[in-house]
Structure 1
Amino acid sequence: MQRLLTFVLAKLIGLYINILSYLAPQKATRLAYKFFSEPRDGRLLKDSLPSVLREAEAKMVTHNDFIFQTYTWKGTNDCKVLLVHGWESNASRWKLFITYLKKAGCTIIALDAPAHGLSSGTEFNIPQYAEFIDVLVRQQKPQYMVGHSLGGATALYYQSHYPDNSIEKMVIMGAPCDFNSILNNYIGLLSLNGNVFKLLNKHFLENLKIKTDEFSGSLFASKIKIKGLIAHDVNDKTVAFKEGKKIAAAWPTADFVQTKGLGHSMHDDKLYTRIYSFLFDGK
């Protein structure tokens, strides 16, 4: 019943936006972008953080008009790894993986994305997330970065747009490749018309400097020179397996790991062992 209600509500919202696109295009654009960019889940409350985050050293970092939350698990050596979560998630999604990283004695750093966890803002977009990452990378100088889902897509964008940094190796898990595939999924979910699609494209170009046809993980990956490991599950129902293959095909210094049965979350002992080996054993 809940699925049916959600489906009907999405279609009614889409119908309303479609009508507005002819009568009040600016309002239609605002609404369409709001539903596209505002996460419905992933927020945290400061007084009830998950246990894995309570174990970390928490720090809020100010960047322009935003505040983003960071977490640090101190290690015993000079190695540092940065973890970048995805859509409607937060830094606690790394709980299982952190147990593996601690074996290496490295310092582990994670952050909450814009409008996620304890970070400020109401909307998520990749360029802003990349700015947060850049501030943290320049402060902490991690050698390794691991990104999941849209966090992986942001890591690709970051490394291609901010190449002069300390990152030596990158791991990308379950990441989407083409921005248009994400946008088209949203358009389909709400049954938005072509007029709304044009309005959104205009908004992305004018406000975020994003040309949706050119905003592609494969394009970003083709510019990356460091070593990479890309993992994607054939049963991923959130981000199609072919998206990961596209990224892998464009990144000549990256290896591709195909998994089965992990879905989109990709929590798995065997995969985490493979990532550990790639980061710390050079395999």
Structure 2
Amino acid sequence: MRLPRGVRTTIRLTDRVAPALVARVALYLWCRPAGARRPAPIPGGTRWTLPVGAGHVVGQTWGSGPRVYLVHGWGGHRGQLAAFVEPLVAAGYEVVAFDALSHGESGPGAFGPRQSTLPEMAETLASVVAAHGAAHAVVTHSFGGTTTTLAILDGLTAARVALVAPMADPLPYTRDLAAVLGFGEPTRQRFLALMARRSDRPLTDFDVARGVETHDGPLPVALVVHDTQDKEAHLADGERLARSWPGARLVTTTGLGHRRILRDPDVVAEVVAHVTAP
């Protein structure tokens, strides 16, 4: 997150006299997906719109066969996973991709334009799967791995899941937000309380690595792919999630970063091989 000159100083000074106000600002920024508002859709396929809650989700479907869902990350859109569509369709799968609420072409979520939460994204995936049919596999990127894992812990079923550059637990990243904005630990705790109230879930639910480690039900066969130089989702997240997930396999790359990893031919081939494995 880049701030205009002087903003951090203003927030730091305001934190001394009005920490509740700063906590509300932090909540707004944390729940605000950054990125392209109207990115170009993936070529081809059948475009669809699905009512979800008070809003609507826009997506596309290609091919026929067992269904593979593509789930983008925070501030992302379905077009970022375009490289997976053609090889999966060629392998005999139906591919379903969509923009989460308050992302891409989809409408606002329950908290208004450009606002969303992890649980809302997880519930949106569950709604899309309920409408389009059972998932054979889910291919995810970044925060989409977190939301998909939360959905799985909440009962979503799939045979396989591929987690590209996932976050194991978003909460440690709130310390990064505090450092960037310049507010202290007491205000961070206020912000976490506001976030728990908005999400209507205990914050421990967001530690999905711990969730899969203690889960007493079946889990999909998991592949975790992470770049050693990822500056947005820490490599330690991918490593921790792979360790926690029973039977998961970790594949690392170097030099692809957080987004180019989605277009790398070797990564695409690795993910497709995982999805299509017997």
Deviation of the 1:25 alpha carbon: 4.7
Q: How far apart in 1 are the matches of 2:145 and 2:9?
A: 33
Question: For 1:12-31, what aligned pairs fall within 5 Å after superposition?
Answer: 12-21=6-15, 23-31=17-25
The answer on 1:120 being equivalent to 2:120 is no
Which stretches in structure 1 are left out of the alignment for 5+ residues? none
Deviation of the 1:128 alpha carbon: 0.1
> Could you tell me the TM-score, scaled by structure 1's length?
0.86
The answer on 1:218 being equivalent to 2:177 is no
Q: How far apart in 2 are the matches of 1:72 and 1:228?
A: 23
Q: How far apart in 2 are the matches of 1:30 and 1:69?
A: 30
Contact 2:226-2:238 within 8 A present in 1 as well: yes
The answer on 1:158 being equivalent to 2:154 is no
Q: Secondary structure at the match of 2:172?
A: helix
In the alignment, which residue of structure 1 is the partner of 2:111?
none
Q: Secondary structure at the match of 1:232?
A: strand
Deviation of the 1:198 alpha carbon: 1.5
For structure 1, which segment, 56-65 or 249-258, has the greater mean C-alpha deviation from structure 2 after superposition? 56-65
1:21-60 CA-partner distances (Å, limit 9, x unpaired): 4544543332211112112313116xxx34x24x222222
Contact 1:225-1:253 within 8 A present in 2 as well: no
Q: Secondary structure at the match of 1:159?
A: helix
Q: Secondary structure at the match of 2:22?
A: helix
Indicate which of 82, 92, 95 corresponds to 1:95.
Answer: 82
Q: How far apart in 2 are the matches of 1:61 and 1:229?
A: 29
Q: How far apart in 1 are the matches of 2:51 and 2:7?
A: 35
Q: How far apart in 2 are the matches of 1:105 and 1:206?
A: 43
Q: How far apart in 1 are the matches of 2:18 and 2:154?
A: 36
Deviation of the 1:127 alpha carbon: 0.2
In the alignment, which residue of structure 1 is the partner of 2:274?
278
Q: Secondary structure at the match of 2:79?
A: helix
Q: Secondary structure at the match of 2:194?
A: helix
Q: How far apart in 1 are the matches of 2:246 and 2:54?
A: 38
The answer on 1:145 being equivalent to 2:138 is yes
Question: For 1:26-41, what aligned pairs fall within 5 Å after superposition?
Answer: 26-41=20-35
Q: How far apart in 2 are the matches of 1:232 and 1:113?
A: 23
Q: Which one-letter code corresponds to 1:177 in the other structure?
A: A
Q: Which one-letter code corresponds to 2:159 in the other structure?
A: E
Q: How far apart in 2 are the matches of 1:208 and 1:19?
A: 29
For structure 1, which segment, 55-64 or 104-113, has the greater mean C-alpha deviation from structure 2 after superposition? 55-64
The answer on 1:251 being equivalent to 2:245 is yes
Q: How far apart in 2 are the matches of 1:103 and 1:263?
A: 27
Contact 1:204-1:211 within 8 A present in 2 as well: no
1:134-185 CA-partner distances (Å, limit 9, x unpaired): 111112222110110001111111111124x3x1111101011122222111
Indicate which of 111, 119, 125 corresponds to 2:98.
Answer: 111
Q: Secondary structure at the match of 1:180?
A: coil
Question: For 1:62-77, what aligned pairs fall within 5 Å after superposition?
Answer: 62-73=51-62, 75-76=63-64
Q: How far apart in 2 are the matches of 1:200 and 1:30?
A: 7
Deviation of the 1:202 alpha carbon: 1.0
Deviation of the 1:90 alpha carbon: 0.4
Q: Secondary structure at the match of 1:237?
A: coil
Q: How far apart in 1 are the matches of 2:270 and 2:92?
A: 17
Identity %: 21
Q: How far apart in 1 are the matches of 2:176 and 2:170?
A: 10
Higher helix share: 1
Which stretches in structure 2 are left out of the alignment for 5+ residues? 109-113
Q: Which one-letter code corresponds to 1:219 in the other structure?
A: R
Q: How far apart in 1 are the matches of 2:238 and 2:25?
A: 31
Deviation of the 1:195 alpha carbon: 2.7
